[in-house]
Amino acid sequence: MNKRLQTILSFLGIASVLCTSFSVYPQMVKAAFTQEVFLANKMYNNLISERDFTDINSMSAADIQAFLVTKNSGLKDFSEGGRTAAQIIFDAAHGKKFTAAIADGDWSTPLGESFKGLNTYEGVTLNEATGTISPKVILVMLQKEQSLITTTTTDSGAAQIAVGYGCPDSGGCSEHYKGFTNQVEWASWQLRYNFERAKGKGADFQVGEVLKNVDGKYDVTFTNAATASLYRYTPHVFDSSYNFMKLFDSYFTQTADTEANDTTNITIKTYATDQKFSGVKNSTVTAYVNGSALDGGNTGSRSWVLTLSNMSPGNNVYTIEYKDASGAVVGTKIITVEVHKQGDINGDGAVDITDLSIFAGYWNQVNPEDPLANLTGQVGHAIDIQDLSILAGYWAK
Between residues 137 and 267, the one the model is more confident about: 137
Evaluate the CA torsion angle 44, 48, 49, 50 in order and state its sign: negative
pLDDT of residue 100: 55
pLDDT of residue 40: 82
Residue range 81-126, pLDDT digits in tens: 999 999 999 999 999 888 754 433 343 444 444 444 446 666 788 8
- Compute the average pLDDT of residues 283-309: 91
Spatial neighbors of 133 by CB under 8 A, at least 6 apart, are: 53, 54, 56, 93, 188, 191, 192, 195
- Compute the average pLDDT of residues 263-282: 86
Spatial neighbors of 391 by CB under 8 A, at least 6 apart, are: 15, 343, 351, 355, 356, 359, 375
Say yes or no to pLDDT of 298 above 80. Answer: yes
pLDDT category of residue 223 using cuts at 50, 70 and 90: very high
CA distances from 41 to 256, 268, 335 (A): 15, 9, 10
Domain CATH code at residue 308: 2.60.40
Range of the domain at 378: 3-28+342-393
CA-closest candidate to residue 78, choices 186, 2, 179: 179
Candidate from 184-188, 333-337, 393-397 with smallest mean pLDDT: 393-397
Other Cβ atoms within 10 Å of 10 Cβ, number: 9
Domain boundary residue among 257, 280, 295? Answer: 257
Residue range 18-43, pLDDT digits in tens: 344 333 333 333 345 688 888 888 89
The answer to whether residue 196 is domain-embedded is yes
Same domain, 77 and 106: yes
Other Cβ atoms within 10 Å of 285 Cβ, number: 22
Q: What does pLDDT average to over the chain?
A: 85
The answer to whether residue 125 is domain-embedded is yes
Same domain, 346 and 333: no
Residue range 38-76, pLDDT digits in tens: 888 889 999 999 999 999 999 999 999 999 999 999 999
pLDDT of residue 60: 98
Other Cβ atoms within 10 Å of 166 Cβ, number: 20
Say yes or no to pLDDT of 281 above 60. Answer: yes
pTM score, whole prediction: 0.78
Same domain, 172 and 246: yes
Residue range 347-364, pLDDT digits in tens: 999 999 999 999 999 998
pLDDT of residue 32: 52
Domain boundary residue among 257, 291, 325? Answer: 257
Share of the chain above pLDDT 70, in %: 84
Cα–Cα distance, 26 to 102 (Å, whole number): 48
The answer to whether residue 353 is domain-embedded is yes
Same domain, 229 and 106: yes
pLDDT of residue 151: 95
